[in-house]
Chains A and B, each alone.
Chain A
Amino acid sequence: DGGITQSPKYLFRKEGQNVTLSCEQNLNHDAMYWYRQDPGQGLRLIYYSQIVNDFQKGDIAEGYSVSREKKESFPLTVTSAQKNPTAFYLCASSIEVSSNTEAFFGQGTRLTVV
């Protein structure tokens, strides 16, 4: 089945730790995205990547880092510099970054700071 796989589904982080969220897609899409979802605030863009070895900051990139070494993979690291990391994180992909494409989402990772 083609799709986007995020892992783990639930993740717990201690204060001061870095954690990495996995996102893999087998849709052969060039573009990949990371969003954060908080109650009542909709989805906010963290980072996006148009092509391998290239990525751009979104609206709320501070405290996060990404890499895009392979077309199918776009991991997100939540660093200790992110002051309020508890949220639902969503990875998405689209054929390309353009004004007329739709994005498809994974099932999300819920991160909780303990």
Chain B
Amino acid sequence: QKEVEQDPGPLSVPEGAIVSLNCTYSNSAFQYFMWYRQYSRKGPELLMYTYSSGNKEDGRFTAQVDKSSKYISLFIRDSQPSDSATYLCAMNDYKLSFGAGTTVTVRA
């Protein structure tokens, strides 16, 4: 069993829809949670990070962590075609562990 599980998708939504992404993990020692966005043939860029259970909002993005269920989510509101990318969750326990990434396409 992988430490971090992420549905690879692909996920296709119309412009303006809410995109919902999630990851589950098995290592209860993970304390720090991140979401990265990766455009094709580019390096991942950090979108959000959080280290506590609950919600964290940044513009159209909301990161949610539920440590009791070992489950994290990323929501993208009012999605735009420019949000089309692969989204990677990552968790830190002195070394980063990544999910496989979910490919998202936002249709104009």
A contact set with B: CB distance below 8 Å: 4, 6, 33, 35, 40-43, 45, 48, 58, 88, 90, 92, 97-108, 110
Interface size on B, residues (CB 8 A): 27
By the criterion CB–CB under 8 Å, are A102 and B46 in contact?
Answer: yes
CB of B45 within 8 A of chain A?
Answer: yes
Q: Nearest Cβ in chain A — how far from B19, in angstroms? A: 19
By the criterion CB–CB under 8 Å, are B44 and A101 in contact?
Answer: no
Q: How far apart sit A45 and B31, CA to CA, in the bound complex (Å)?
A: 19
By the criterion CB–CB under 8 Å, are A107 and B43 in contact?
Answer: yes
Chain B residues with CB under 8 A of A99: 29, 31-32, 92-94
Chain B residues with CB under 8 A of A107: 42-43
B contact set with A: CB distance below 8 Å: 4, 6, 8, 29, 31-32, 34, 36, 41-46, 49, 51, 88, 90, 92-96, 98-101
By the criterion CB–CB under 8 Å, are A42 and B46 in contact?
Answer: no
By the criterion CB–CB under 8 Å, are A101 and B43 in contact?
Answer: no
B32 and chain A: residue at smallest CB distance: A100
By the criterion CB–CB under 8 Å, are B32 and A102 in contact?
Answer: yes
Chain B residues with CB under 8 A of A48: 95
By the criterion CB–CB under 8 Å, are A90 and B43 in contact?
Answer: yes
Q: How far apart sit A93 and B16, CA to CA, in the bound complex (Å)?
A: 34
Chain A residues with CB under 8 A of B36: 105
By the criterion CB–CB under 8 Å, are B95 and A97 in contact?
Answer: yes
Chain A residues with CB under 8 A of B44: 43, 90, 105
Chain B residues with CB under 8 A of A92: 96
By the criterion CB–CB under 8 Å, are B43 and A110 in contact?
Answer: no
By the criterion CB–CB under 8 Å, are B88 and A101 in contact?
Answer: no
By the criterion CB–CB under 8 Å, are A105 and B8 in contact?
Answer: no
With contact pairs A97-B94, A104-B46 given, residues A42 and B32 touching in the complex (Cβ less than 8 Å)? no
By the criterion CB–CB under 8 Å, are A58 and B8 in contact?
Answer: no
With contact pairs A42-B101, A48-B95 given, residues A100 and B51 touching in the complex (Cβ less than 8 Å)? yes
Q: Nearest Cβ in chain B — how far from A110, in angstroms? A: 7
Further 5 A-B residue pairs, CB within 8 A, beyond A105-B44, A106-B43:
A6-B43, A35-B98, A42-B6, A43-B44, A48-B95
